[in-house]
Structure 1
Amino acid sequence: MPPSVRLPEKKGERPVHTKSAAKKLKRKRNAEEFQLLETRVREFDGKGITCFSELPLTKQTAAGLHKAHFKTLTDIQRKAIPLALKGRDVLGAAKTGSGKTLAFLVPVLEVLYRKKWTTMDGLGALIISPTRELAAQIFDVLRKIGREHAFSAGLVTGGKKLKDEQEALHRMNIVVCTPGRMLQHMDQTVGLMLDNVQLLVLDEADRILDMGFGKTLDAIIENLPRERQTLLFSATQTKCVTDLARLGLKDAEYVAVHEAATSATPAGLDQFYMIVPLPEKLNTLFAFLRNHLQSKVVVFMSSCKQVRFVYETFRQLHIGISLLHLHGKQKQSARIDITAKFSAAKQSCLFSTDVVARGLDFPAVDWVVQLDAPEDADTYIHRVGRTARFEKAGKALLFLCPSEEAFADRLTGRKVPINKVGQKNSKKQSIQNQLQGLLFKDPELKYLGQKAFVSYCRSISVQKDGEIFKLEELPLDEYATSIGLLGAPRIKGLKSVDVAKIKEIKNAPRGLKALEGNSSGEEGEGEDKSKKEVRTRYDRMVERKNINVLTDHYANLVQDDGAEPDNEGDFLTVKRSGYDSDIPDPTEIPPKTLKVPGKEILIDSKRKEKMLKSKKELVKLKPKGAKLIFDDDGGAHQIYELQDEDKFREAGSAEIQRRKFLDEEGKRVKEADIGDRQLAKEKRKEKRKAQKLRAAEEEAVTEERSEEDESRIELVPYGEAEGDHLGQGEDVEEERQPKRQRKWFEDDEEKQKAKEKAERTGGRVIEAAETPENLEDLEMLASGLIG
């Protein structure tokens, strides 16, 4: 009887299957728990709560929060989570480092669970972040608190293969993404359905709603359903009616927990600003870092080129602290690696742009230094929020030029308590000569310095507050000299700069930029198909790039007058004088070619010419060899060659040719067999002959030895008969071993010895009758021996 069946206790009852009964009981219990959870959420008012355990949460979310060590609620979480659990739209504003991430992740998990969301239902929640680093941080927190749920979540940002994301996107319930990458998927991913999205979350909403992301966000919202819940969170929340109308918010609850606070920044943050002339900025920064080698510092700059220039120069000056740099032009893998290194470091300095200004949680940052002033007070608040997080202490320092001192009043008006400080004369240090030496030795570093200068001027020209940031009042010549340049590069076209257009281009996704470029290129080709640009090897030589971090800057700076300007505008152009006059017309020089079997290769560059000198590269170009055999006449043939079909048919049918071939081969084998047998017979004869010769030689040697033995006579010492050898007979007698008893089949030992001696001496044995006593006796014995 199977164990899953229980016998009836009474007669007439049916057997009960325990497994099905257990499933029914479990479904009933889950339904009761689900109904109880709905009731708790509906009746929950959220007053007086301090811990996550007091919220009406599912067992899965509560277990995930407990394992991730989240216990106490912050102010924004205590006010925003109850409203979001009830399905209300929320506008959350709180200081940096106050826990806004959990304030929207917990409602996302709870709402989808109460809607009984499964993998088959598709995408249910869309969380949008302005930067890749912040999106990755949100995704890590989501994995920690949602580990007990059965939802599938994914991170969709730039810097990865689009195809890999497309295959997994259809199975995701929760997506954390950046605006540009999500719009790219909406345009290129086939079958992506967003009609059933239940929640839309915008982290750092004011940044996403900025004009840089405006069109991208509008395109995303057009693909989302109107009946959805929307959550907006930021340290500086927007209240613009136009922005809120674009998102389709309905009766949104505005939650600003720190609106009544005396400061817009964390209480444990000490903030200072210093009036520094523009030419002294790098000197002051170098001196500051030399005096804070045991600290963890984040230095903000206005552009990627400045970050790279300061990083490359300070790295060669051996400042004494670990240096890192992070900006938006780096590859995604490098950005992730640098973020992890800085988070794990105890003493380090990170040069960065505003790409890390929002939301990123770097542990134990001691100082936030702003080498360049931010564009507004909101950006300042986000920058200094990288330190003094979660009610910890921290310090911030802002460098302002003398013409920018009014920016401190703007900060004071936004409830930012900031104090003015000065630099000690004993701490001042100049690195101008060192920078000039570095730029003189490394031309690429010099071009990077020029680009850093131009990008700084560009950033000042596009600032919103034109009353404070005035480019014409800055000492640009002295600033160029202070960073190691011999003079200020020529700058033009600043008046025609459109701030909105620049931000739109800067924040547009790279994939869409490429698509737009291709489409515009195709349209242009229709107009000028007949005019094809002639490119010479000298053009390719000038445009050639080496794999170097500074090469792009060099390529953008070194342009001819007819070349197209780079995407940053025509701010700096270095003209190559004497280019056409010193070099002869390339059309008059005949091109070099290399002939290899089967084709002819055009050598149009020195790189290709050098490459073709390598044996390995030449072997790749040559055709693969074929194995050949040679006939009796010396002609080369392939091992296997196909016979002509007509000739084959003329020779007869396949069966006839097969029999003919077998007969011929049989005759050849028999002839070869006869020859082999004759050869084997001759070898045997030679072997026997050699054996007979060896035997004859051995017999001759034996006879010679016997003749020599016959002529040889063995002498027996005279003292041996008496057993006395040179007067030592007594000792020999004592050492002599007792004789072994002779067997019946053995001969007498003495007879045997005598027989052996006779054989050796040819039968002649001479013995002395008496022991010689004098010389006469010895002479007589000798004469007898001579015979």
Structure 2
Amino acid sequence: MVKKQRAPRATKLSRKDNREKEEEVSRKLQERIDAYDPVADEKSISQFSDLPITEGTLKGLKEASFVSLTDVQKKTIPIALKGEDLLGTAKTGSGKTLAFLIPTIEILVKNKITEFDGLAALIVSPTRELAVQIFEVLTKIGKYNSFSAGLVTGGKDLKYEKERVSKMNVLVGTPGRISQHLNETVGMETSNLQVLVLDEADRCLDMGFKKQIDNIIGHLPPTRQTLLFSATQSDSVKDLARLSLTNPKRVGVSSDQEVATPDSLEQFYIRIPLDEKLDVLWSFIKSHLKSKILVFFSSSKQVQYAYESFRTLQPGISLLKLYGRHKQTSRLETTVKFSNAQYACLFATDIVARGIDFPAIDWVVQVDCPEDAATYVHRVGRAARFGRQGKSLLMLLPTEEEGMLKRLNNNKIEPKLMNIKQKNKKSIRPQLQSLCFKDPLMKNLGQRAFISYYRAVYVQKDKDIFKVEELPSEKYAASLGLPGAPKIKIKGGNAGKEKKNASRKLMELEKANDDGEIQNGDDSKVRTKYDRMFERQNQTVLSEHYLNMTGNNGKESDEEDDFMTVKRKDHQIIEEELPDLSAPVSKRSAKKALSKKASSASKGNATKLKFDDDGVAHAIYELEDEEDFKKGGDAKDQKAAFVSRETEVMNEADLDDKETAKQKRQEKKRKRKEVEKQAREGFEEDSDDYEDNDVDLERDMQYSSESSDDEPEVKKPKWFETNDKKTKKSRDEIIEIDEPETLEDLESLTARLLNG
């Protein structure tokens, strides 16, 4: 027997060798990073393989088809790899996503972050779509690394995220949801955070996320590395940089407000009246059916109306819509559809104006003027990305042309004027008018689109461009298919936003001082909350009724002695809509109405109803709220009392029913005795009425059982019977009969003819 020798323990040796090999590779990479000179070595690198990054990241980049470096990536990645804070600005579509994702991955690898080390990198983006795009790129290039990554955005299951977010090494999300997790989620530890990335920081601040970003920065350790990327360097971005960055390296555009568009983008604009915008948009789409088009509107209501109306008219191209109030699943589905489509048209708001990479967009059409040059750059930046060709078209009103072109020229943007050929222009105003006339929902959408456009123009800060008082309201309403311009009531504007974010306590104190809730002097009066409630003009449901009852609806009542006055209003009565309350004419209808079978459908129990304020009938329990029910005591006791009460009622009803049945039986028996007595005495007068004793007796009994309180009805002769003996003698000579109506009449006629 030969014993097998044990194999040498190669596992431990191989693990040790691998660890030493990894440390050697990491040491060499760090030496390359330390020796890198961003100014001298910038021209020597052109591909990702020239960067001092790990093999796993290079493999992920290669499989995702990322080979060559862009300008912003050449400048930012080596600086970020050195561990320095970075403030980067660059053209839209220049590859900023990889500029912060590659350093993030490399820093985690360098610090040997594992799944047990908690949160090590935090990436904040302004919109859900951009966060999803960043997360998808991260999973592609970081697939050969061992750390975990998660995505948190609004619109998803918060409880599901809380259970898993504390186990993530890299977290990508929107400011609101990340701030919420930092405040609420148990176990979300940030003491080990290595990198913070703020993508599209200017957009985050413009969208009102300043408080959330300040809250996020307040939860993070000061020893972290921060990468801040923005398309522009506004004052708010500089303030944020001072708060969150330590001795940052600035990369990108040097001037304060300078922005740039891609070189491969062709830019055009047209001068157009407001009431012709939809006609021109329709004509443009019809003439570019083999293109991928992105159309920007200023509000979501305009997006909805344009999408629904154009979809009904069917231009011949796939139509999509995307705006902020969509559900998260619908927004992602639309984004994927438009990205994968070859020819399609997407109606959208500025929610997709930043950072979103839609492949191969041919045209970007701006139906509504952007609020500033930066918004214009971000919109047109969806086309001509990464060196591809693209075109943009801007629609300007005559009142907007001069001011907007001046601001674009200040940023070295000079779009060319495009002339529209009248033969290519087609009006869809009659079709829109027909849609609004036939469909009330479409009309409502048009009215809301009209109001939202005026509100969007009204709240703009640059009043030299946006002049709401010069807009042709009636013409614009007609172009939307509306019969007239809706009434517009705009409150606040920009002041409304400030008021919304102001302290409620301070507002209450200011209101108390302004209104003089407690007035001093001779006319001192304490105003109660009921006084303030009835003074609210928007509470028409209550205050209008109250004023009508008291007679103080804007006028002093002449009759001061009247305690209460009610003004009657005459209502038009339509006879056709009134219910038929006439009594049944025929015996059959009367019998059906009084039958026991029909009345048993309601179980013999009457239903007590109560009418609400709108005059709609409800069962009592429907209008009874929870507090009223609790006042009655315990539910079981109420149930027992109800059952006992109903049992007594049913017992009394049973006694009445038994007594009624007994009287009916006695009456039936009395009538039967009387008939039998008459038959024995042989009255000749009634012989004809009782030729068929069994049948007629049964009918008499049935009738007596149905109406026991009334006198028995004298039986009328049937159509073939007569009491006139003379007529009876001559019936053999002339027979006059009516047409039989029932089977019984037909059988009687047949028997008579056979016997005769």
Which interval holds the TM-score relative to the shorter structure?
Answer: 0.5 to 0.7
Report if aligned partners of 2:93, 2:381 keep a CA contact under 8 Å in 1.
yes
User: Structure 1 residue 277 and structure 2 residue 273: aligned?
Assistant: yes
- Give the deviation of 1:85 after TM superposition: 0.2
Within the candidate set 29, 36, 41, 1:37 is matched to 29
How far apart, in 2, do the equivalents of 1:253 and 1:312 lie? 49
Show the counterpart of 2:57.
61
Show the counterpart of 2:477.
480
- CA distance 1:262–1:104, change in 2 (3 Å): closer
How far apart, in 2, do the equivalents of 1:260 and 1:74 lie? 23
- Equivalent position amino acid for 1:198 in 2: Q
- Equivalent position amino acid for 1:204 in 2: E
Structure 1 residue runs of 4 or more that deviate by more than 3 Å after TM superposition: 1-6, 237-242, 244-247, 257-263, 493-497, 499-505, 528-531, 559-564, 578-593, 600-604
Report if aligned partners of 1:435, 1:484 keep a CA contact under 8 Å in 2.
yes
User: Structure 1 residue 336 and structure 2 residue 335: aligned?
Assistant: no
- Equivalent position amino acid for 2:475 in 1: E
RMSD, matched Cα: 3.3
Within the candidate set 540, 547, 550, 1:561 is matched to 540
How far apart, in 2, do the equivalents of 1:141 and 1:579 lie? 70
SS at the partner of 2:386? coil
Map residues 234-633 of structure 1 onto 2, 5 A cutoff.
Answer: 234-238=230-234, 240=236, 243-245=239-241, 247-256=243-252, 264-406=260-402, 407-494=404-491, 497-498=494-495, 500-501=497-498, 561-562=540-541, 586=612, 591-593=617-619, 602=622
Show the counterpart of 1:137.
133
- CA distance 1:502–1:483, change in 2 (3 Å): farther
SS at the partner of 1:144? helix
How far apart, in 1, do the equivalents of 2:363 and 2:265 lie? 10
Report if aligned partners of 2:54, 2:106 keep a CA contact under 8 Å in 1.
yes
User: Structure 1 residue 118 and structure 2 residue 131: aligned?
Assistant: no
Report if aligned partners of 1:211, 1:500 keep a CA contact under 8 Å in 2.
no
Report if aligned partners of 1:211, 1:504 keep a CA contact under 8 Å in 2.
no
Show the counterpart of 1:729.
none
How far apart, in 1, do the equivalents of 2:614 and 2:213 lie? 56
Show the counterpart of 2:76.
80
Within the candidate set 196, 199, 203, 1:200 is matched to 196
- CA distance 1:231–1:562, change in 2 (3 Å): farther
SS at the partner of 1:498? helix
- Give the deviation of 1:473 after TM superposition: 1.1
Q: Deviations over 1:375-412 (max 9, x none)?
A: 11000000001111111111100001110012011111
Show the counterpart of 1:10.
none
- Equivalent position amino acid for 2:33 in 1: V
SS at the partner of 2:214? helix
How far apart, in 2, do the equivalents of 1:395 and 1:213 lie? 32
Show the counterpart of 2:555.
none
- Give the deviation of 1:58 after TM superposition: 1.1
- Give the deviation of 1:148 after TM superposition: 0.4
- Give the deviation of 1:35 after TM superposition: 2.1
Report if aligned partners of 2:205, 2:236 keep a CA contact under 8 Å in 1.
no
How far apart, in 1, do the equivalents of 2:614 and 2:94 lie? 71
- Equivalent position amino acid for 1:43 in 2: A
How far apart, in 2, do the equivalents of 1:35 and 1:3 lie? 39
- CA distance 1:41–1:4, change in 2 (3 Å): farther
- Give the deviation of 1:261 after TM superposition: 14
Q: Deviations over 1:82-108 (max 9, x none)?
A: 000001111111111111110000000
Unmatched segments (≥5 aa) in structure 2: 503-527, 544-566, 574-610, 625-756
How far apart, in 2, do the equivalents of 1:456 and 1:30 lie? 60
Report if aligned partners of 1:91, 1:237 keep a CA contact under 8 Å in 2.
no
How far apart, in 2, do the equivalents of 1:563 and 1:197 lie? 56
SS at the partner of 1:360? coil
- CA distance 1:487–1:167, change in 2 (3 Å): same
- Give the deviation of 1:304 after TM superposition: 0.5
How far apart, in 2, do the equivalents of 1:209 and 1:369 lie? 26
Report if aligned partners of 2:91, 2:259 keep a CA contact under 8 Å in 1.
no
Q: Deviations over 1:578-612 (max 9, x none)?
A: 9997599846969543xxxxxx85389xxxxxxxx
SS at the partner of 2:444? helix
How far apart, in 2, do the equivalents of 1:396 and 1:54 lie? 36
| Bigger Cα Rg | 1
- Give the deviation of 1:66 after TM superposition: 1.6
SS at the partner of 1:390? helix
How far apart, in 2, do the equivalents of 1:589 and 1:452 lie? 34
With the length of structure 1 as denominator, give the TM-score of the two structures: 0.63
How far apart, in 2, do the equivalents of 1:104 and 1:254 lie? 14
- Equivalent position amino acid for 2:363 in 1: W
How far apart, in 2, do the equivalents of 1:457 and 1:590 lie? 39
SS at the partner of 1:221? helix
With the length of structure 2 as denominator, give the TM-score of the two structures: 0.66
Unmatched segments (≥5 aa) in structure 1: 7-16, 506-527, 534-558, 565-577, 594-599, 605-787
Report if aligned partners of 1:450, 1:485 keep a CA contact under 8 Å in 2.
yes
User: Structure 1 residue 26 and structure 2 residue 46: aligned?
Assistant: no
- Give the deviation of 1:239 after TM superposition: 5.5
Report if aligned partners of 1:273, 1:400 keep a CA contact under 8 Å in 2.
yes
How far apart, in 1, do the equivalents of 2:455 and 2:568 lie? 30
- CA distance 1:560–1:494, change in 2 (3 Å): closer
Map residues 144-155 of structure 1 onto 2, 5 A cutoff.
Answer: 144-155=140-151
- CA distance 1:561–1:436, change in 2 (3 Å): farther
- Give the deviation of 1:246 after TM superposition: 5.4
Q: Aligned residue pairs: how many?
A: 532
How far apart, in 2, do the equivalents of 1:412 and 1:429 lie? 32
- Equivalent position amino acid for 2:454 in 1: C
Q: Deviations over 1:306-354 (max 9, x none)?
A: 1001111111111111111000010011111111111111111100000
Report if aligned partners of 1:458, 1:494 keep a CA contact under 8 Å in 2.
no
SS at the partner of 1:305? helix
SS at the partner of 2:116? helix
How far apart, in 2, do the equivalents of 1:203 and 1:22 lie? 42
